[in-house]
Amino acid sequence: MGCCVNFQDELKQRTELIEGIIRRFLPKEEGFAKTMAEAMNYSMCAGGKRLRPLLLMETNRMFGGDQALAEPFMAAIEMIHTHSLIHDDLPAIDNDDYRRGRLTTHKVYGEAMGVLSGVALLNYAYETMLGAFDMAKDPLTVRKALGIMAKKTGLYGMLGGQSADVENDGKPMDKEMLDYIYRHKTSALIEAPMMAGAVLAGADEAQSAIVEKAAENIGLAFQIEDDILDVVSTSEELGKPVHSDEKNHKVTYVTLFGIEKAAARAASLSKEAADLLESLNQKNEFLIELISYLISRRN
Amino acid sequence: MGCCVNFQDELKQRTELIEGIIRRFLPKEEGFAKTMAEAMNYSMCAGGKRLRPLLLMETNRMFGGDQALAEPFMAAIEMIHTHSLIHDDLPAIDNDDYRRGRLTTHKVYGEAMGVLSGVALLNYAYETMLGAFDMAKDPLTVRKALGIMAKKTGLYGMLGGQSADVENDGKPMDKEMLDYIYRHKTSALIEAPMMAGAVLAGADEAQSAIVEKAAENIGLAFQIEDDILDVVSTSEELGKPVHSDEKNHKVTYVTLFGIEKAAARAASLSKEAADLLESLNQKNEFLIELISYLISRRN
């Protein structure tokens, strides 16, 4: 399955649609906390693939969901993701001055505002999602989706993964620990939008569990692909510095298993994810193609 | 109205009850993110007055609420408050090494974990509150309480106040800006538990608005009282360094108006709060006495 012209066109169209949805949910830059709203919007408007809202929208569509109900969640998952990037870039964590070619939030607004506006985005994600109750036929569907988002974001999800990552920084790590970190730091924020998208469209527990497993594999494959790109790309191709893992003595799938084995693992995880989604007998060809596209960014 | 022996006994009993409730909702310290759970619990178990859960419980009781439904919210408001303290203490914000006589979270667990465990507490507050849906007769009551908590915590509440505080640090400020900061940085996290307590017990919009106004006054009076204590106490009495506002050239109610006028304002705000609550014709003598006690910590 390649990236045909149609797929690229569709991807572009959908990404533009998502940009519009996200913008509708951003806070107004006014009042005494204007600077905080500006800092939140600065990072939210810094570009990016909008992959997580896209996965939410497509999984929701696959189960025949009402997009209006999914939209607050689409904006929210991007807020949650962006909040984690702002905090990752802080001096106390990765200490990055640039992201996507622009100064990072704390470089523009100061470190205190970096911490606070990151938190404010996470909190605003909840404020935004709560709005979905006002249009839901069944409030318990929204409650279920909220529960997924909260769990996958927190101690037992992405933040737990970040915690283990910070704690093991620069230390030798085995596959078990690396898997934990990838499955939480990365996969959890793929599982959250795909499961929320499914649940908001009425998917049952069994379907939601299959979506979760597929999303876990996609996240893991995506992260392994990142490890590979850091080694084989030029910084022009990647749009960010390469060989950073080597410089930071970071343990990755590539340092543990070598490029070839890492690439084979990413491919098999991606295949398994597509098979799982196809087993649901819900048709979304674009989603299947998207997964394949995500894991073959080198082509 | 003084602090009679009975009131002190009741306060002690209720605080112990609340300690037990909070402990029930804390995360388990296990698995790969054990250190993060430890850091969250370290700060949650550092003592403190548990004022916000107490206000939530008493307001809920005043409106005849079911305490079981309020309990997740009681634990959650303390998590939200504690998250803000962890971040306040960070080097990039107030740079404090000690709080309540113990090393601050980032001094024990490192700055990265300070940022992340603070966020994790905020997120865990939402996970905890979502549990209330499972015991609520009417899910929309929980949704309403969640909406209040989210708004009062975020950009339009406490975090907005912190943002303005950080931005104006060391700058001259007028009463309007100082009022904004106090009403958001401090009052918002008094409004949240009192309004949530009321709404969970079935208070209507009009009642909730009166509670909000009373809570706003309580928060403002409480903050002004803090300004006064910083000037008139010894560090033994206060349990933390005194004259810190003067050292940090901080604009406060005392620097703007002097001690006497500040004290008179705190007293009149406190009186107004009690009058507002009594106008509701819902009886809770303990709550009224608590307010008076909070604003007369010098006696």
What is the Cα–Cα distance from A231 to A263, expressed in whole angstroms?
Answer: 12
For residue B240 the two structure tokens come to 């933390």
**Taking the mean position of all CA atoms in its chain, how far away is CA B190?**
5
CA distances from A6 to A9, A285, B298 (A): 5, 12, 73
pLDDT for the residue B239: 67
Residue A126 pLDDT exceeds 80: yes
Give the distance from residue B236's alpha carbon to the nearest chain A alpha carbon, in angstroms.
30
For residue A208 the two structure tokens come to 């939601």
Query: Is the CB of B163 less than 8 angstroms away from the CB of A33?
Result: yes
Half-sphere exposure of B270 (CA within 13 A, CB side): 23
Which of B:15-54 have CB within 8 Å of A?
27, 31-33, 35-37, 40
Nearest CA in chain B to A162: B116
Answer whether A1 touches B (CB < 8 Å): no
pLDDT for the residue B1: 44
Residue B299 lies in a domain: no
Answer whether B72 touches A (CB < 8 Å): no
Residue A299 lies in a domain: no
Tell me how many domains chain B contains. 1
Q: Which residues of A touch B162 (CB under 8 A)?
A: 116
DSSP A103: E
Q: Which residues of A touch B40 (CB under 8 A)?
A: 155
Residue B160 lies in a domain: yes
Query: Is the CB of B92 less than 8 angstroms away from the CB of A83?
Result: no
For residue B110 the two structure tokens come to 């490192």
Give the largest Cα separation in chain B, rounded.
54
Residue A46 lies in a domain: yes
At position B42, the amino acid (one-letter code) is Y
Here the ipTM equals 0.95
Answer whether A154 touches B (CB < 8 Å): yes
What is the Cα–Cα distance from B77 to B99, expressed in whole angstroms?
Answer: 19
Answer whether A72 touches B (CB < 8 Å): no
The pLDDT tens digits of the residues spanning B86-138 come to 999 999 999 999 998 899 999 999 999 999 999 999 999 999 999 999 999 99
Alpha helices in B239-284 (DSSP H): 244-247, 253-257, 259-279
* Domain with B231 in it: 5-26+33-294
**Taking the mean position of all CA atoms in its chain, how far away is CA B141?**
22
Contact criterion met (CB below 8 Å) for B36 and B120: yes
| pLDDT tier for residue A47 given thresholds of 50, 70 and 90 | confident
Give the distance from residue A285's alpha carbon to the nearest chain B alpha carbon, in angstroms.
34
Residue B237 pLDDT exceeds 80: no
User: Please, what is the average pLDDT of chain A?
Assistant: 93
Residue A9 lies in a domain: yes
Contact criterion met (CB below 8 Å) for A187 and A156: no
Average pLDDT over residues A265-272: 95
Average pLDDT over residues A85-96: 96
Count of other CB atoms within 10 angstroms of residue B108:
14
Residue A238 pLDDT exceeds 80: no
Query: Is the CB of A155 less than 8 angstroms away from the CB of B111?
Result: no
What is the residue whose two structure tokens read 């949530």? Answer: B196
Instruction: Label the pairing between strands B102-103 and B98-99.
Output: antiparallel
Give the largest Cα separation in chain A, rounded.
54
Bridge partner list, A103:
A98
Average pLDDT over residues A12-33: 97
User: B25, B30, B32, B174: best mutation site toward chain A, by most A Cβ within 10 Å?
Assistant: B32
- DSSP string computed for A13-57: HHHHHHHHHHHHHSPP--STTHHHHHHHHHHHTS----HHHHHHH
| pLDDT tier for residue B234 given thresholds of 50, 70 and 90 | confident
Answer whether A83 touches B (CB < 8 Å): yes
Which CATH number goes with the domain that contains A272? 1.10.600.10
What is the Cα–Cα distance from B246 to B243, expressed in whole angstroms?
Answer: 5
Residue A164, burial from CB neighbour count under 10 angstroms (0-12, 13-18, 19+): buried
Query: Is the CB of B133 less than 8 angstroms away from the CB of A118?
Result: no
Query: Is the CB of B115 less than 8 angstroms away from the CB of A133?
Result: no
Count of other CB atoms within 10 angstroms of residue B285:
12
Count of other CB atoms within 10 angstroms of residue A172:
8
Average pLDDT over residues B150-174: 95
Residue A103 phi/psi, 5° resolution? -60, 140
How would you write A70-88 as a 3-class SS string? HHHHHHHHHHHHHHHHHHH
pLDDT for the residue B260: 95
What is the Cα–Cα distance from B192 to B216, expressed in whole angstroms?
Answer: 10
pLDDT for the residue B299: 46
Contact criterion met (CB below 8 Å) for B161 and B88: no
pLDDT for the residue A1: 44
Instruction: Label the pairing between strands A98-99 and A102-103.
Output: antiparallel
Query: Is the CB of B164 less than 8 angstroms away from the CB of A118?
Result: no
Residue B220 pLDDT exceeds 70: yes
